[in-house]
């Protein structure tokens, strides 16, 4: 099987080496232990936002394909990365050493064995406090509560009817779903946009608890500014989804009205 790992980076010289080395090691072990019948051939794609600290050279030294996307934003980087991804399966993680490459196989197995379309790593269920600042934890809690409140009807088919970690950045999914989800967000709200689009378009979504580690290097996210933007974005998305649903309902009854004698 062919797969693409997409990693967005912006000045991640402290974390990119560890991220790529641990991924290589973990994927080799997983091919022997879990995927020996159909080993996964990984294309590693780093989407760099114009780093000036040597991140690009460190990624290339480790055999990653680097695409430079100078337009700003986490979401912009992912949208460019997804356009360049060639694998049937796509996986993602940050370039800061926070996500556990050795737990990726559990997400892939959930996709393959349980027949899900999109599996997301849930950082919060097993979270050790030192891995995330207090501001970040509060922000995550608020955003997850908003998702629960605004999108409860969309969460009905999801295990436990809940999205525990709407802001997580470790995902595994079939590339073909990109033909159906509608993605516009350039910033940090991309993470919630993608997951909510997966639900709204009727794909099977599930979360798997993962171990999240402390970050190497400086964060690129501002807890308050990005948190507020993401909250505002959730209200706008809820409004758009309602509008779309109403329009679809009207279109569905329209033919019978026009055909009636």
Ligand X SMILES: Nc1nc2c(ncn2[C@@H]2O[C@H](COP(=O)(O)OP(=O)(O)O)[C@@H](O)[C@H]2O)c(=O)[nH]1
The least CB distance from residue 25 to Mg ion, in Å, is 20
Give me the sign of the Cα torsion angle 15, 198, 104, 100.
Answer: positive
Nearer to ligand X by Cβ, of 91 and 241: the residue is 91
The least CB distance from residue 93 to Mg ion, in Å, is 9
- Contact, 177 vs 198, CB < 8 A? yes
Nearer to Mg ion by Cβ, of 94 and 122: the residue is 94
Under the binding rule (CB under 6 A), the answer on residue 213 touching ligand X is no
Nearer to ligand X by Cβ, of 12 and 206: the residue is 12
The least CB distance from residue 94 to Mg ion, in Å, is 4
Which candidate, 36, 23, 152, places its Cα nearest to that of 93? 23
Under the binding rule (CB under 5 A), the answer on residue 96 touching Mg ion is yes
- Contact, 58 vs 37, CB < 8 A? no
Position among 12, 122, 192, 206 found at the interface with ligand X (CB under 6 A): 12
What residue ranges in 10-106 does DSSP mark as E strands? 41-48, 65-68, 89-92
Residues between 18 and 77 with contacts to ligand X, criterion CB under 6 A: 47-49, 69, 72-74, 77
Under the binding rule (CB under 5 A), the answer on residue 94 touching Mg ion is yes
Residues between 216 and 245 with contacts to ligand X, criterion CB under 6 A: 219-221
The least CB distance from residue 9 to ligand X, in Å, is 5
Please, which residues have CB within 8 angstroms of residue 130's CB and are 6 or more apart in sequence?
Answer: 214
> How far is Cα 122 from Cα 124, in angstroms, rounded to an integer?
6
> How far is Cα 258 from Cα 260, in angstroms, rounded to an integer?
6
> How far is Cα 105 from Cα 27, in angstroms, rounded to an integer?
8
> How far is Cα 167 from Cα 106, in angstroms, rounded to an integer?
19
User: For the sheet containing 2-9, what is the strand order?
Assistant: 65-68, 41-48, 2-9, 89-92, 171-174, 118-122, 205-209
Residues between 97 and 116 with contacts to Mg ion, criterion CB under 5 A: 98
Nearer to ligand X by Cβ, of 157 and 219: the residue is 219
The interface partner of residue 1, options being Mg ion, ligand X, none and the CB cut-off 5 to 8 Å by kind, is none
Q: Which residue is nearest to ligand X (CB)?
A: 49
The interface partner of residue 8, options being ligand X, Mg ion, none and the CB cut-off 5 to 8 Å by kind, is ligand X
Nearer to Mg ion by Cβ, of 48 and 241: the residue is 48
- Contact, 167 vs 121, CB < 8 A? no
Under the binding rule (CB under 6 A), the answer on residue 87 touching ligand X is no
Count CB-CB contacts under 10 A for residue 210: 26
Backbone angle region of 169, left / alpha / beta, with phi > 0 → left and psi within -120 to 50 → alpha? alpha
Nearer to ligand X by Cβ, of 189 and 241: the residue is 189
Nearer to ligand X by Cβ, of 10 and 158: the residue is 10
Question: Which residues would be at the binding site for ligand X (CB under 6 A)?
Answer: 8-10, 12, 47-49, 69, 72-74, 77, 94-96, 169, 219-221
Question: Which residues would be at the binding site for Mg ion (CB under 5 A)?
Answer: 94, 96, 98
């Amino acid at each position: 099987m062919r797969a693409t790992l997409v990693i967005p980076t912006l000045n991640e010289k402290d974390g990119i080496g560890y991220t790529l080395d641990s991924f290589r090691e973990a994927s080799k072990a997983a091919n022997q232990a879990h995927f020996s019948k159909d080993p996964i051939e990984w294309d590693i794609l780093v989407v760099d936002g114009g780093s000036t600290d040597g991140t690009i050279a460190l990624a290339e030294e480790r055999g990653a394909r680097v695409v430079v996307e100078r337009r700003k934003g986490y979401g912009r980087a992912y949208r460019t990365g997804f356009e360049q991804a060639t694998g049937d399966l796509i996986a993602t993680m940050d370039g800061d050493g926070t996500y556990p490459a050795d737990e990726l196989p559990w997400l892939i197995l959930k996709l393959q064995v349980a027949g899900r379309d999109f599996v997301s790593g849930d950082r919060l269920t097993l979270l050790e406090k030192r891995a995330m600042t207090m501001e970040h934890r509060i922000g995550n809690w608020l955003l997850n509560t908003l998702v629960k409140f605004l999108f409860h009807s969309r969460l009905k088919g999801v295990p436990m009817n809940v999205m525990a970690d709407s802001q997580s950045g470790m995902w595994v999914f079939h590339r073909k779903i990109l033909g159906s989800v509608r993605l516009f967000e350039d910033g940090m709200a991309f993470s919630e946009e993608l997951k909510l689009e997966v639900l709204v378009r009727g794909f099977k979504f599930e979360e798997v608890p993962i171990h999240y580690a402390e970050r190497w290097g400086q964060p690129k996210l501002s807890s308050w500014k990005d948190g507020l933007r993401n909250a505002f974005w959730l209200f706008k998305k809820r409004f758009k989804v309602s509008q779309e649903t109403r329009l679809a309902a009207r279109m569905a009854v329209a033919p019978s009205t026009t055909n009636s004698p």
